[in-house]
Structure 1
């Protein structure tokens, strides 16, 4: 259950970070209204809060989140921006998820 909860928190954080960044991107690069970027900024603040819901320490959370972020960004770009990942994008995204999983969920001997 703890692994599913942790994974859900990562996905929720991704929605706010990638979504928020994307809205700011649209405002600055594609001439969307400033309020779109402002909503993106709020999303980025919420992302920072959501990430603190993880139970591990900062270093491991943010390092592992980087892998989840990479894979999620590829999926977001595919669905919302018309990006067509090639096999190397997909392989790289899978590798980052494997690395994040090892970092977060490998059994450790805690003394």
Structure 2
């Protein structure tokens, strides 16, 4: 159950951070306005809180592992929202990052 909770928190964090950054991008770069930017700022703030709910007590470990989630999540967001098509190197890189997440977060420790 702890691993499942951790994975769900990583997905929620990715949605908040990537979504927040995307909203700011849309508000600023695509000239959609201040409300989009404000929504992005709120989502980025929510991301900061989500990470605090991870069961592991080590901030550095959580943030390092989240980096791999962010890489894969950003490519997935681009595919779904922006119709971006990753190439095989994107997919290989994301898989390596997710393997790193698994090692950092879920390797047995004594």
Name the structure 2 match of 1:75: 76
User: Alignment length, in residue pairs?
Assistant: 109
Name the structure 1 match of 2:34: 34
CA contact (8 A) 2:2 2:55 kept: no
Name the structure 2 match of 1:61: 62
Tell me the distance in 2 between the aligned counterparts of 1:96 and 1:41.
26
Moved over 3 A (4+): none
Q: C-alpha displacement at 1:28, in angstroms? A: 1.1
Runs of 5+ consecutive residues of structure 2 not aligned to the other structure: none
Tell me the distance in 2 between the aligned counterparts of 1:29 and 1:84.
21
Runs of 5+ consecutive residues of structure 1 not aligned to the other structure: none
Question: 1:1-111 counterparts in 2 under 5 A?
Answer: 1-56=1-56, 57-109=58-110
TM-score (normalizing by structure 1): 0.96
Structure 1 residues 5-59: Cα deviation after superposition (integer angstroms, max 9, x where no partner): 0000000000100000000011111111210110010000000001100121101
Tell me the distance in 2 between the aligned counterparts of 1:52 and 1:23.
23
Q: For the aligned residues, what is the CA RMSD?
A: 0.6
